[in-house]
Amino acid sequence: MKILIVGGGGREHALTWKIAKSPKVNKIYCAPGNAGMAEIAECVNIAAENVDGLLAFAEKNSIDLTVVGPEAPLAAGIVDKFRAHGLSIFGPTQKAAYIEGSKALAKEIMVKYNIPTAAYGDFTDLNEALDYVRKVGAPIVVKADGLAAGKGVIVAMDMETALAAVKDILGDKKFGNAGSRVIIEEYLEGEEVSVLAFTDGKTVIPMVSSQDHKRIFDGDRGPNTGGMGAYSPAPVYTEEMAVWVNENILQATVNAMAAEGRLYEGILYAGLMLTTKGIKVLEYNARFGDPETQAVLVRLETDLVEIIKATIDHKLADMQVKWSSEPAVCVVMAAGGYPEKYVKGDNITGLAEASKTAIVFHAGTALNDGKVVTAGGRVLGITAKGETIKAAVDNAYKAVTQINFQNAFYRKDIAYRALNR
């Protein structure tokens, strides 16, 4: 099979790494890819958002299967377009991907179908939104309705921050059109867990649990990022919880989407908060999470291409998906200054040495005169397994210390909740 993987981040490198292990695959193209993906696939210079360019490439090169990594092309309708041209592609349609593309839609569906989530208000008028914040008070969560690359959520612990967030999004259009509508949510207290699942629109097969670290600094301080690290499994998420979530959240969501005429196929990601009043949905994503994918996929023992084919063919009920019992940890190495301004083009050293104890997934990297250089905010996702979470953490950080680039930055407490448990 010839495979096209859309995207060029850490999640896409993990997908490429896993798909390359399938005996069914003899050629992988990545668009646009990165320096790490270039070691196992052929990178083509087409942006992930360039749906027409990707379609033309897939047709010209007789691609057997396209796997979409990021949310933007899904929201732009890449699946609909490829299918209209008779091409096999993995991911939800534009109508279904709207569950991530609009937080307002996701909230409406959850309320309508009794899927547990935080209380909220939904606004397009700046003054109405500000009045609501003043009425409800802080702590409170302010979200841009549309896609904002994982940065459109502000957890405001005081009124000043909350009001400023609303003004940034609705008034100053900090996130462009993604912020033409704002969702203001009840602040939920508890521990977060990410659960991804394969679904063909009917059957749902959950993956092993994981936990992401969104804040930039140790101890979960500072601004939200796209994710500074992840580990799998999350020990706080019990087998009993998993059974309940599978029925009342994952399956209920897939059923609700079908009932709404938005048949959902591909990956459904549920970000959950385990509160004292039960488990509630924080957000949905319409694709693999990043960096959760890195920690989860290294534990997958079943051929990913087999699972994807079964999903596309609506035969997921026939699949048995197996997972390694060994935990995995991913530590993100970021460029200094991330998630705000950061420098690109710095040389990265120590990659070969680090690869002896961990899998080095590239996120924001490029090749410059044959050398690997930084090309993004999140640069690398150092991922390792171990007999215990502690062993996996030690293996990952051993590799991290062997890698160097100018102003490299990483959290030193990934998986701290699991270790404290």
pLDDT digits (tens, 9 = 90+) for 276-312: 999 999 999 999 999 999 999 999 999 999 999 999 9
> From CA 18, how far away is CA 12, in angstroms rounded?
10
Architecture field, domain 2-91: 3-Layer(aba) Sandwich (3.40)
Among candidate residues 48, 55, 57, 61, the one with its CA nearest the CA of residue 86 = 55
Q: Where are the domains of the chain?
A: 2-91, 125-180, 191-318, 328-420
Span between the terminal Cα atoms of the chain, in Å: 44
Residues 35-87: tens digit of each pLDDT: 999 999 999 999 999 999 999 999 999 999 999 999 999 999 999 999 999 99
Handedness of CA 201, 206, 207, 209 (dihedral sign): positive
Distances (CA, A) of 230 to 246, 330, 397, 411: 21, 5, 13, 11
CATH T-level fold of 191-318? D-amino Acid Aminotransferase; Chain A, domain 1 (3.30.470)
Domain 191-318 matches domain 328-420 at the CATH topology level: no
180 DSSP β-pair partners? none
Rounded-to-integer distance, Cα 67 and Cα 332, Å: 23
Across residues 78-99, what is the average pLDDT? 98
pLDDT of residue 219: 95
What is the pLDDT, as a whole number, of residue 95?
Answer: 97
Length of the chain, in residues: 421
- Hey, what amino acid is at 13? H
The architecture (CATH level 2) of 125-180 comes to 2-Layer Sandwich (3.30)
pLDDT single digits (tens) 361-385:
999 999 999 999 999 999 999 999 9
**pLDDT higher than 70, residue 150:** no
210 pLDDT band, cuts 50/70/90, is: very high
Q: At 172, is the pLDDT very low, low, confident or very high (cuts 50, 70, 90)?
A: confident
Predicted confidence at residue 111, as pLDDT, reads: 97
- The mean per-residue pLDDT over the stretch 137-154 comes to 87
Q: The tokens of 9 are what? A: 């981040």
Q: What is the pTM assigned to this prediction?
A: 0.95
Beta bridge partners of 153: 143
What percentage of the chain exceeds 70 in pLDDT?
100
In this structure, CATH architecture of domain 328-420: Alpha-Beta Complex (3.90)
Contact 75, 97 (CB under 8 A): yes
| Mean pLDDT, residues 178-192 taken together | 93
Reply yes or no on whether the pLDDT at 256 is more than 80: yes
Structure confidence at residue 223 (pLDDT): 85
What percent of the chain stands above pLDDT 90?
Answer: 94
What pLDDT band is residue 148 in, cutting at 50, 70 and 90?
A: confident
Query: How high does pLDDT run on average in the chain?
Result: 96
Least confident of 220-224, 316-320, 323-327, 394-398: 220-224
Cα–Cα separations (whole angstroms), residue 249 to 9, 96, 236, 238: 28, 16, 18, 15
pLDDT at 354: 98
**pLDDT higher than 80, residue 250:** yes
What would the two tokens of residue 372 be? 């690997």
Residue 399, SS3 per DSSP:
helix
